[in-house]
């Protein structure tokens, strides 16, 4: 059972870091102000506003910022500004034994996916595939904040992982499986294959989602994961949306699911609101859940946090 960080409470301090691509200072500041309006304090990393081409500072600088948040006793949670590219570059510079000794909440999606899974695998801590700092703004759906704050503060279980009203989960391959949830953005996961940080899906519920990729490219990514044994190792598959993924040669995302994923024969649920879509379910990485495609439910069997 993975280590659960302490729950987030009103007045707690959130450490803000930029771990991948940079973001304009005015956008960062607006999101920080919105976060503070929710009753939370912030502590900025040294390189939050850094810009080094398509990266926010060097790999070592971004890793230093993250480590400083894990070791700072004031910080209850760590919130990356955005994903983008480059998060994998910090992985060799992290001290996973120190992180394991100082478990803290960390949330994100997109390129943060690789970090979420590596922290679970190397430091044995629960992480959260949920909001980034850039999502703290007035036009974010209330569902997203409800999901985020429930996951970061509630210890009530069992708890269903639910979509917003009118967006049902869909069972595609019958079956039921129980295991920790791992995964996230496909592009980020593909980048881990063949490295020391390759995602481990053995006995896990494997969750995937994607954005802004044509379906023929998504097919390539899915096939690579299949050839790497990531689906055969998994106990079940949970698929999120493919946000703004254009059809290719008349083939849609739904066609890809039916023609490539369904034949894998693993218990399969699709249509989870997650990651890059407008609605973002909070998916705890490393938490044991049950996926039941007969009832079209995903049930969290343990909390993501502790008091």
Active site amino acids = 110, 209, 276
Question: Strand pairing of 205-211 and 176-185?
Answer: parallel
Give the C-alpha separation, 276 to 241, whole Å.
Answer: 8
Residues with Cβ within 8 Å of 301's Cβ and at least 6 positions away in sequence, in order, are 157, 158, 178, 287, 288, 289, 290
- Phi, psi of 114, deg, nearest 5: -60, -40
Give the C-alpha separation, 158 to 135, whole Å.
Answer: 27
Estimate to the nearest angstrom the gap between the alpha carbon of 306 and the chain centroid: 19
Q: How many CA atoms lie within 13 A of 184 on its CB side?
A: 33
Give the C-alpha separation, 134 to 132, whole Å.
Answer: 5
């Amino acid at each position: 059972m993975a280590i659960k960080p302490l729950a987030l409470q009103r007045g707690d301090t959130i450490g803000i870091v930029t771990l991948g691509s940079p973001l304009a200072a005015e956008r960062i500041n607006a999101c920080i102000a919105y976060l503070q309006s929710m009753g939370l304090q912030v502590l900025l990393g040294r390189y939050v506003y850094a810009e080094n081409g398509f990266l926010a500072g060097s790999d070592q600088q971004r890793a230093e910022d993250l480590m400083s948040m894990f070791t700072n006793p004031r910080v209850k949670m760590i919130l990356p500004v955005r994903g983008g590219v480059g998060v994998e570059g910090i992985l060799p510079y992290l001290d996973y034994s120190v992180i394991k000794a100082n478990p803290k909440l960390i949330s994100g999606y997109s390129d943060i996916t690789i970090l979420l899974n590596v922290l679970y695998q190397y430091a044995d801590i629960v992480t959260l595939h949920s909001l980034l700092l850039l999502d703290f703004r007035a036009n974010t759906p209330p569902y997203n904040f409800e999901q985020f704050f429930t996951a970061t503060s509630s210890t009530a279980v069992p708890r269903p992982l639910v979509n917003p009203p009118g967006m049902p989960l869909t069972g595609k391959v019958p079956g039921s499986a129980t295991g920790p949830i791992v995964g996230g953005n496909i592009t980020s996961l593909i980048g881990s294959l063949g490295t020391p940080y390759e995602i481990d899906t053995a006995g896990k519920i494997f969750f995937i989602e994607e954005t802004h990729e044509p379906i023929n490219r998504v097919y390539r990514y899915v096939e690579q994961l299949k050839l790497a044994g990531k689906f055969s190792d998994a106990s079940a598959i949970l698929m999120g949306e493919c946000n703004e993924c254009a059809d290719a040669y008349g083939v849609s995302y739904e066609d890809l699911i039916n023609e490539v994923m369904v034949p894998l024969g693993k218990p399969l649920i699709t249509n989870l609101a997650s990651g890059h879509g407008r609605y973002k379910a909070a998916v705890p990485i490393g938490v044991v859940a049950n996926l039941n495609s007969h009832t079209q439910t995903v049930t969290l069997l343990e909390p993501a946090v502790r008091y």
